[in-house]
Structure 1
Amino acid sequence: MDHLDAIKVFVCIADLGGFASAARAMRVSTAVASRHVAFLEQKLHTRLFHRNSRNLSLTDSGQLYLERVRGIVDELDSIEKMVNSANLEPAGELRIVAPVVFGFRALGPVIESYSKRFPKVRTDITLDDRGIDLVEDGFDVGIFAAHEISSRTLIARTLLAGRLIVCATPHYVDTYGAPSCREELSAHQCLVTPSEKTGVAGESAGMQQTAHVKQRNVVVANNIEMLHQLALLHLGVAIFPDYLVNDDIAQNRLVEIPGDFGLCGVEIKVGYASRKHLSAKIRTFVDHAAGHFGGRRENFDQ
């Protein structure tokens, strides 16, 4: 039997002056209320109530016990109301982790509109491209590429979807030509992430990339924005998510190179550790972010 529940029942009986009335208030049977008091009396090795057919009164021990536990029960009720209120109205610190480029290109408007809606929430944002464990690293919410989500306990919702494309500047293509398939990439200057430089299946811009070709790696960088800037400087061919370079292509700063490169689609998700006891700040942020993007194809440059 739960000790705290028994104490709450005892206080209610003392306040209402009867087992039946207390049982109704606590939404338990009279028999259950009696068992709670019996549990306490056995634990304390003393009687708490004088009982007869007409009257119910506290013993001296019962009066002393009531004076001490009433404050505990009242304080616990106050704490529970405070926590419940915090969960109903988003408040407090919300720790968010996101990929670096996504943070720079897309997260700002989401944070700005969320902060206006929920001013009592203080956002703490970390931009990091390394593997993050939300629980171990102490984050409330994470934004990830779909293939990076390996934990079975992580609850995730799609923010946006797109595709990977091979691209270069018009100047590069005019000077060196354009590859038409993944085997031809080995003859070109390639701008790659560390996981791509071995030529095996790896990640590009935080997305899964399935080309298995030994590349001529002119530059290796662990930040996709760095590769983006180098591509704009005509340094080589790179693989980017379409939403990162749609505006560059529209302005003819880059051109998409069509071909059979075996590239996968792109999906960005927002995730949190568990549905159990989900706080209002996490729930509202996930809903807000999902609503902002709507799972659509997105151009960060617009």
Structure 2
Amino acid sequence: MDKLQAMQIFRSVVDEGGFAAAARALNMSPAGVTRYMSDLESDVGARLLQRTTRKMSLTEAGEAYLDRVRHILDDVEDARAVVQAHTQEVAGVLRIVTSPLLATHLLAPVVAGFRQLHPRVTFDVSVEVMGPRSTAVNDCDIKLLTAPTDFNANLIARPIITTVGVLCASPQYLQDRPPLLRPEDLKAHDCMAFRHPERRAGNIQLTNPDQDGVTVEINLQPSFQVNHLDTILRATLDGAGISSQPLNLVAQYLNDGRLVRVLSPWSSGQLTLYAALPSRKFLPTRTQAFVEYLTERTRNSVHSALARAAEQREAAERKGR
């Protein structure tokens, strides 16, 4: 027997004035209502209703039980309303875990805009080096991470955007430097690289989507290599040379002119930005709203950066004719 449903049926029988009326109100059969009432009385060990052919009335035990039942059912409705307020109202604390790079260049730039739309949302962000000991998804609302497009982990992960690695440099660096018309031209430039424990830092593979995905590998002697991506980006912005960066992270710098994409449309691989979630069901509205906002802002920024790169490429080609 579902005790909560039995309580609801008991209340309805009293409020509607009879079994048949309660059955109609609850869209149940009269036999079903009778069975629930019989089971409820057996469970509490007392008769709750006096039934005659002419009328129905509460027993003394029934009156005392009904009073408590009303309070219990009211509390249940209040609890449901509280939960629905958390899931339907864009308010509350949004707990996010992400890497230092994503926190600085992806998350931080969207906080102000999101809070202008939803001022009742506050952020609690944990910045961690992602690894096996990083915070579990169940301990936060959103975990932002990047992974290869064939990423397959035991996570509920919603893709935000699939992006490519792009070669970029600051306008200051590119002044009076040799032209960049083909991948081999990189050898005449200061190139920076991420030092990966399993790969030689000087090797870079580039793919050209305009040439049926043709791939070339260039062997470079990096002028600067480090095992920290944010350091390479900072050095690139300050004019130290050319580096490969995820397009979604540097789109804002490409759009405002602090960086210029070089050797477009060549790219250095694909990555997908994911929002890992603790559950598919009953997500707070603040979580849904932020994921949608981040997705829209990121995709708009990337599309603008791609359009700007195409314009710069066409201008360079016209200049070279």
TM-score by length of 2: 0.70
> 1:99, 1:127 within 8 Å by CA — same for their partners in 2?
yes
The match for 1:157 is 159
Distance 2:101 2:299 in 1: 19
Alignment partner of 1:279 is 2:284: yes
| Deviation (angstroms), 1:6 | 0.8
> 1:162, 1:297 within 8 Å by CA — same for their partners in 2?
no
Alignment size in residue pairs: 285
Alignment partner of 1:143 is 2:144: yes
For residue 303 of structure 2, give the secondary structure of its aligned residue in structure 1: coil
Alignment partner of 1:270 is 2:272: no
> 2:254, 2:305 within 8 Å by CA — same for their partners in 1?
no
> 1:153, 1:274 within 8 Å by CA — same for their partners in 2?
no
> 1:181, 1:259 within 8 Å by CA — same for their partners in 2?
no
Distance 2:272 2:51 in 1: 69
The match for 2:293 is 288
1:75-102 deviation digits (Å, cap 9, x = unpaired): 1112212322332222211112333233
Within-5 A mapping of 1:85-100: 85-100=85-100
Q: Which amino acid letter does the alignment assign opposite residue 137 of structure 2?
A: V
> 1:8, 1:73 within 8 Å by CA — same for their partners in 2?
yes
| Deviation (angstroms), 1:20 | 2.0
For residue 164 of structure 2, give the secondary structure of its aligned residue in structure 1: strand
* Aligned match for 1:240, one of 240, 245, 261: 245
| Deviation (angstroms), 1:192 | 1.5
Distance 1:27 1:215 in 2: 78
> 2:97, 2:135 within 8 Å by CA — same for their partners in 1?
no
Alignment partner of 1:10 is 2:10: yes
User: Structure 2: any 5+ residue segments left out of the alignment?
Assistant: 205-215, 309-321
For residue 93 of structure 2, give the secondary structure of its aligned residue in structure 1: strand
The match for 1:52 is 52
Distance 1:236 1:86, change over 3 A: closer
> 1:110, 1:289 within 8 Å by CA — same for their partners in 2?
yes
Distance 2:243 2:224 in 1: 11
For residue 294 of structure 1, give the secondary structure of its aligned residue in structure 2: helix
Pick which of 19-28 and 67-76 moved more: 19-28
| Deviation (angstroms), 1:65 | 1.6
Q: Which amino acid letter does the alignment assign opposite residue 143 of structure 2?
A: G
Distance 1:237 1:115, change over 3 A: closer
> 2:97, 2:125 within 8 Å by CA — same for their partners in 1?
yes
User: Structure 1: any 5+ residue segments left out of the alignment?
Assistant: 203-209
Q: Which amino acid letter does the alignment assign opposite residue 114 of structure 2?
A: Y
| Deviation (angstroms), 1:121 | 1.9
Q: Which amino acid letter does the alignment assign opposite residue 263 of structure 1?
A: S
For residue 180 of structure 1, give the secondary structure of its aligned residue in structure 2: helix
* Aligned match for 1:297, one of 298, 303, 311: 303
For residue 106 of structure 1, give the secondary structure of its aligned residue in structure 2: helix
For residue 263 of structure 1, give the secondary structure of its aligned residue in structure 2: coil
For residue 6 of structure 2, give the secondary structure of its aligned residue in structure 1: helix
| Deviation (angstroms), 1:140 | 0.7
Distance 1:201 1:72 in 2: 68
Distance 1:229 1:134 in 2: 29
> 2:23, 2:30 within 8 Å by CA — same for their partners in 1?
yes
1:166-203 deviation digits (Å, cap 9, x = unpaired): 566559977xxx97399x8xxx975314456566999x
Q: What RMSD in Å do the two structures reach over aligned CA positions?
A: 4.2
Distance 2:193 2:219 in 1: 14
Pick which of 123-132 and 8-17 moved more: 123-132
Q: Which amino acid letter does the alignment assign opposite residue 231 of structure 2?
A: M
The match for 1:207 is none
Distance 1:163 1:98 in 2: 20
Q: Which amino acid letter does the alignment assign opposite residue 123 of structure 2?
A: T
